[in-house]
């Protein structure tokens, strides 16, 4: 599956009141792996940023004067995003701004150009109810290094969010066998009868077992003690 983690920076908080996008950062994942095929745009918003917004992103109005306008990069952006699942933290904000920019150039709303939109803020609220779920808070909770984030930046934030998303969904990994070869296609997997293989059983060592127990403890705390596996005891070996 092709996924794009996306973030924007803007001149302010209200697309409806005329605020514009000044930066777009996109990070590509294929089969939950970073590919390095990223996109990054600075944009001339044709207006100045609000003072409070500049304190967040640190991008000066002067720096953006000679940057392309959204209309100039729209086709390249939409071609890149086409057919992908888009992953955004607090998606209504970014999607609202992107749709408004598309509306200005006579294009259809953002969601019509992509496969789907996933909001990691909603995911985090379900996993960690009642806790702070900002990107910085999630980085701290999930042990994602955000030490380089002194100001908000669309590409940096998208890279951090990609790591956060992989940690949030780490239980969704599938056991697939890569058959290799020139005809291998991302997003498809050949079904293999594993009964024909002599598969070794490798027991976890003490360090791995401790790390596994730490993850279970974290999930216990996040669910408010509602996990069920702690109630099961392994059957006695005869």
Q: Tell me, what CATH number does 10's domain have?
A: 3.30.420.10
Give me the pLDDT at residue 165, please.
Answer: 96
Q: Is residue 237 part of a domain?
A: no
Give me the pLDDT at residue 220, please.
Answer: 75
Q: Is residue 228 part of a domain?
A: no
Note whether 88 and 120 are within 8 A (CB): yes
Q: How far is the C-alpha of 1 from the C-alpha of 3, rounded, in Å? A: 6
Percent of the chain at pLDDT > 70 equals: 82
Mean pLDDT of 159-188: 64
Give me the pLDDT at residue 192, please.
Answer: 63
Question: Is a pLDDT exceeding 50 seen at residue 180?
Answer: no
Q: Is residue 223 part of a domain?
A: no
Q: How far is the C-alpha of 17 from the C-alpha of 183, rounded, in Å? A: 50
Q: How far is the C-alpha of 125 from the C-alpha of 168, rounded, in Å? A: 11
Note whether 54 and 60 are within 8 A (CB): yes
Give me the pLDDT at residue 96, please.
Answer: 98
Q: Is residue 209 part of a domain?
A: no
Contacts 24+ apart (CB under 8 A), 101-107: 101/20, 101/21, 101/70, 101/74, 102/74, 104/70, 104/71, 105/70, 105/71, 105/74, 107/74, 107/78
CA distances from 228 to 76, 113, 179, 220, 233 (A): 48, 41, 37, 9, 11
58 vs 234: which has the higher pLDDT = 58
Q: Is residue 54 part of a domain?
A: yes
User: Which of 40, 152, 184, 212 is an active site residue?
Assistant: 152
Mean pLDDT computed over every residue of the chain: 86
Q: Is residue 144 part of a domain?
A: yes
Give me the pLDDT at residue 217, please.
Answer: 80
Question: Is a pLDDT exceeding 70 seen at residue 178?
Answer: no
Q: How far is the C-alpha of 202 from the C-alpha of 181, rounded, in Å? A: 28
Give me the pLDDT at residue 215, please.
Answer: 80
Q: Could you tell me which residues come within 8 angstroms of residue 103 by beta carbon, excluding any fewer than 6 positions away?
A: 109
26 vs 56: which has the higher pLDDT = 26
Give me the pLDDT at residue 172, please.
Answer: 55
Number of domain units in the chain: 1
Mean pLDDT of 104-122: 98
152 is catalytic: yes
Boundaries of domain holding 50: 2-172
Q: How far is the C-alpha of 60 from the C-alpha of 51, rounded, in Å? A: 10
Q: Is residue 77 part of a domain?
A: yes
Q: Is residue 88 part of a domain?
A: yes
Q: How far is the C-alpha of 119 from the C-alpha of 141, rounded, in Å? A: 18
- Write the DSSP symbol of residue 237: P
Question: Is a pLDDT exceeding 50 seen at residue 60?
Answer: yes
Give me the pLDDT at residue 211, please.
Answer: 83
Q: Where are the beta strands (DSSP E) in the chain?
A: 2-10, 21-30, 33-34, 39-42, 85-88, 116-119
Question: Is a pLDDT exceeding 90 seen at residue 18?
Answer: yes
Mean pLDDT of 68-97: 98
Q: Could you tell me which residues come within 8 angstroms of residue 37 by beta carbon, excluding any fewer than 6 positions away?
A: 28
């Amino acid at each position: 599956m092709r996924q794009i983690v996306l973030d924007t920076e803007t001149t302010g908080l209200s697309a409806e009141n005329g605020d514009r996008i000044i930066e777009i950062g996109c990070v590509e994942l294929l089969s939950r792996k970073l590919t390095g095929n990223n996109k990054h745009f600075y944009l001339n918003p044709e207006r100045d940023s609000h003072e409070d917004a500049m304190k967040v992103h640190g991008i000066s109005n002067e720096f953006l004067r000679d940057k392309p306008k959204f209309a100039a990069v729209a086709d390249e952006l939409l071609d890149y995003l086409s057919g992908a699942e888009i992953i955004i933290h607090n998606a209504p904000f970014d999607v609202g701004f992107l749709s408004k920019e598309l509306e200005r150039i006579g294009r259809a709303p953002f969601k019509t150009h992509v496969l789907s939109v996933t909001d990691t803020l909603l995911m985090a609220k379900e996993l960690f109810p009642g806790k702070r779920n900002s990107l910085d808070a999630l980085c701290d909770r999930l042990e994602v290094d955000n030490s380089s984030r002194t100001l908000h930046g669309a590409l940096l934030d998208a890279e951090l969010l990609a790591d956060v998303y992989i940690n949030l969904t780490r239980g969704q990994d599938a056991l697939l066998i890569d058959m290799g070869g020139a005809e291998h296609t991302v997003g498809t997997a050949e079904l293999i009868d594993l009964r024909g293989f002599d598969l070794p059983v490798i027991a976890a060592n003490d360090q791995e077992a401790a790390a596994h127990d730490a993850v279970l403890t974290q999930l216990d705390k996040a669910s408010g003690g509602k996990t069920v596996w702690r109630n099961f005891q392994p059957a006695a070996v005869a």
